[in-house]
Amino acid sequence: MSKVRVHNLAVSLDGFATGEGQSLEAPFGHAGVRLMEWFFETRAFRSMNGKDGGSEGVDNAFAAAWGPGIGAEIMGRNKFGPQRGAWADETWQGWWGDNPPFHTPVFVLTHHPRPALTLAGGNSFHFLDASPAEALAAARAAAGGLDVRIGGGPSTVRQFLDADLVDHLHVVLVPIVLGRGVRLWDGLESLEERFTVEAVTTPSGVTHLTFTRR
């Protein structure tokens, strides 16, 4: 059976996985890039963007685990674009550009379905008004036996955790206090009882936590 995986989900000490005031210019709101600095320094991230160099230690090992074995992604609408409500322009292709980094079918959860988009590099976006279980069934059918990644944002990950559909959760604890934004852990009391948890701190100062379903 293919696994359901979450990777590189960064949270602050106070449990916020994104800041307040998200916009096209500020995808993480007032958090800016502070949750993702550890990631931007890795060789894996740099190579996604056609750049050489970058760190090759533990941060990179986690960053690089994001892609292999994945056959489809599920994301919340807010990861596709910052709009809310009915689509003003169905030709807008999201904020991932002409060749998004996913290279698989992507299922976007939205209460406002629209026609699918097919982009370069094996990317396609499919818009679903569906429960987590229904969306997972659609993604699995498209994943060709490979794993399904829940790509975020935090509200989407929380819904899949709440529905007990996640096999592997990788959270990156960044030692900052954001104060406001979207919380990851709300409603997930005793989540750890369903998982084996490991933790490792790296020289960048972050702590990687892996939750593996028992």
CA 86 from chain centre, in angstroms, equals 23
Whole-angstrom Cα distance, residue 63 to residue 59?
A: 6
In DSSP terms, 207 is beta-bridged to 173, 201
Interacting residue with its own copies among 13, 33, 120, 163 (CB under 8 A): 13
Phi and psi at 44, nearest 5°, equal -60, -45
Q: Which of 57, 101, 122, 175 binds its own copies (CB under 8 A)?
A: 175
Q: How far is the CB of 39 from its own copies (least distance, A)?
A: 17
Q: Does 197 bind its own copies (CB under 8 A)?
A: yes
**Residue 129 or 186 with smaller CB distance to its own copies:** 186
Sign of CA dihedral 19, 21, 26, 30: negative
C-alpha gyration radius of the chain: 16
Stretch that binds its own copies, among 2-10, 46-54, 75-83, 182-190 (CB under 8 A): 182-190
Stretch of 38-46, 62-70, 72-80, 172-180 contacting its own copies, by CB under 8 A: 172-180
CB of 144 to its own copies, least distance (A): 34
Interatomic CA distance for residues 184 and 206, integer angstroms? 17
List residues near its own copies by CB under 8 A: 11, 13-15, 171, 173, 175-180, 183, 185-192, 197-201, 205-207, 209
